[in-house]
Structure 1
Amino acid sequence: MEELIAWLDDQGREKRLHPLLVVAIFIVVFLEIHPFQDGNGRLSRILTTLLLLRAGYAYVPYSSLESIIEQSKESYYISLRRTQGTIRSAEPDWNPWIEFFLRALHRQKTRLEKKMERERIILADMPELSVTLLELAREHGRITVAEAARITDASRHTIKDHLKALVDQGHLVLHGAGRGAWYGLS
């Protein structure tokens, strides 16, 4: 592990390899070292997210790489075994793992783009106050009628109508009743 960390630090300074290649190689070697009795796979995916964020790929936490790997478990293990079988040889074959890794990242990015497009379509069809209420619920984790009225300067009746429509459309969920009621994301 010390050698792997030192290699990662060197790559960060020297920048000889593309950051995606550095992350891919780090992860496959980490998994080959298998430093813990249990949880190496989960930890490798957390490390992947961390390393990608450090490399400037800010979109990574917004789309699950874990679910993409879960959907292609067989390819994951085959590419992992093919590369790991050569790591300690004179000429390691990084291609099987790197190809799998880059395809998984591409699927992750594509999935996020589709999700964002769906959001744009949904938000484009909404009244401005409804969009504002949704944004407030996202920012604060929840919103009440009183908070929404204070922030937006809209009447309580108008806000209630918009919140009811957002609940009916499945964007928000109503929790509680009366003055203690609040709305959260569904």
Structure 2
Amino acid sequence: EKIHYQAPSAEQVKPEMDKFIEWFNKEIKLDYVLKSAIAHFWFIIIHPFDDGNGRIARAISDLLLARSDDSSQRFYSLSNQILTERKVYYETLQRVQYKAGDITEWLIWYLNCLYRALKNTEKTINKVLYKAEFWDKHKNTELNARQRLMLNKLLDGFTGKLKTSKWAKITKCSQDTALRDIKDLIEKGILRQEKSGGRSTNYELVEN
């Protein structure tokens, strides 16, 4: 779906960009997070280039968010979150540009998007820490290459249920070998049989 913006005429672009740059560089009593939201919207509406306006707007947002964090290191990415939600992003921009200067809806969406970016990063960091703690706990546990491969897949977020047949397919071994690998991990307290039961047996990691 192509989104059409009502960009200023070619004659208006330079004076509009001059206003934007003056405002951007001016020290004003405005939280950098809010400034990043306003700057993003303003730049998109000016639409000074034929292509790449979205990428530049996201870069402007990231710059102001870095100033807000007062750190050269950032562990979250608003740009990635916007790309993930780009359909709603474009729809919100298109609606708000016709609201005669009222950008409240955009600010609410932007701040919620930033919140989701932070929450997703928190999940990623927790997953990385959990994986590091797991391997530190089992650094002296004797494991074969197949077991290490499958444990890493489970720690990274295995899709679907872990069955003997899946283990055999992924590690390219027989089902008998897969079952021996799994039973060995159960004896070592690393895997357990899922309680859900059913017609087939599924396995899961034992929580650290």
TM-score class normalised by the smaller sequence: 0.5 to 0.7
- Summarize deviations over 1:22-78 as a string: whole Å, max 9, x none: 111111010000011101011111221112112226598433333322332232112
1:74 corresponds in structure 2 to: 87
1:56 corresponds in structure 2 to: 69
Which sections of structure 1, spanning at least 5 residues, go unmatched? 131-157, 172-186
After the TM superposition, which of the residue ranges 111-120 and 53-62 deviates more from structure 2? 53-62
1:102 corresponds in structure 2 to: 111
1:20 corresponds in structure 2 to: 33
The Cα RMSD (Å) is 3.0
- 2:78 paired residue among 65, 68, 89: 65
With the length of structure 1 as denominator, give the TM-score of the two structures: 0.61
Structure 1: distance between partners of 2:89 and 2:107: 11
With the length of structure 2 as denominator, give the TM-score of the two structures: 0.55
4+ long deviations beyond 6 Å: 164-167
Give the percent of matched residue pairs that are identical in Structure 1 and Structure 2: 28
Are residues 100 and 83 of structure 1, via their aligned partners in 2, closer, same or farther at CA, if it must alter by over 3 Å?
A: same
Structure 1: distance between partners of 2:56 and 2:78: 13
Are residues 106 and 59 of structure 1, via their aligned partners in 2, closer, same or farther at CA, if it must alter by over 3 Å?
A: farther
Q: The residue matched to 2:25 in structure 1 has which SS?
A: helix
Structure 2: distance between partners of 1:128 and 1:71: 35
Does residue 1:29 correspond to 2:45, yes or no?
no
Deviation at 1:85, TM superposition (A): 2.0
How many residues align? The count is 134
Which sections of structure 2, spanning at least 5 residues, go unmatched? 1-16, 154-208
Is this contact kept in 2: 1:29–1:84, CA < 8 A?
no
1:125 corresponds in structure 2 to: 134
Are residues 57 and 93 of structure 1, via their aligned partners in 2, closer, same or farther at CA, if it must alter by over 3 Å?
A: farther
